[in-house]
């Protein structure tokens, strides 16, 4: 198993969750469930934003506007699907550039704490995968 396999699995799960969201009322998708973010929509979009932000950072592209976009901008499953498609395309574009050497390389960035951090590219990508698993578990608990 490699990094691409992990992301392909995440995208398989994203598609299943998006389908499940079409089967419940929009009001349920957006109601406050008092979790890490207010609603199913917000948790799902946050996980997309986190991936989008990290992939753009790693690709040396701007992350401006990703976290500034309010969850309320996503007013339908189609809006969420369109954003998911965009993130998936950018992620796949980046993953297709990876080599073993690039995965092993050190990526330096300024964190939210304004400190400089240094991590292997592979470790950052595994973190993105793990964050998705965390929020997927959270969504499963809400659905339960």
The answer to whether 91 touches 55, Cβ cutoff 8 Å, is yes
- DSSP type of residue 63: -
Q: What is the pLDDT of residues 9-38, one digit of tens each?
A: 999 999 999 999 999 999 999 999 988 899
Q: What is the CATH number of the domain that holds 116?
A: 1.20.120.450
Contact 50, 124 (CB under 8 A): no
Which 3 state secondary structure label does DSSP give 118? strand
At residue 102, the 3 state secondary structure works out as helix
The pLDDT of residue 103? 94
As for how many domains the chain has, the answer is: 1
List, for residues 73-111, the tens digit of each pLDDT value.
999 999 999 999 999 999 999 999 999 999 999 999 988
The tokens describing 144, both together, are: 């339960």
Q: Do the beta carbons of residue 94 and residue 124 sit within 8 Å?
A: no
- Owning domain of residue 71: 3-143
From residue 117, how far is each of 43, 93, 121 by CA, in Å?
26, 25, 12
How many angstroms separate the CA atoms of 67 and 19, rounded? 24
């Amino acid at each position: 198993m490699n990094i691409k396999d992990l992301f392909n699995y995440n995208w398989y799960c994203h598609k299943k969750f998006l389908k499940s969201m079409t089967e419940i009322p929009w009001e349920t998708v957006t109601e406050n469930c008092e979790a890490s973010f207010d609603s199913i929509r917000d948790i799902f979009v946050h996980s997309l934003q986190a991936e989008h932000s990290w992939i753009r950072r790693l690709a040396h592209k701007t992350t401006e506007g990703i976290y500034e976009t309010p969850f309320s901008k996503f007013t339908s499953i189609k809006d969420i699907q369109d954003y998911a498609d965009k993130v998936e395309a950018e992620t796949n574009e980046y993953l297709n550039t990876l080599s073993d050497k690039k995965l092993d390389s050190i990526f330096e960035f300024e964190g939210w704490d304004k400190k400089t951090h240094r991590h292997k590219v592979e470790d950052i990508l595994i973190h993105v995968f793990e964050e998705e698993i965390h929020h997927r578990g959270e969504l499963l608990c809400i659905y339960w």
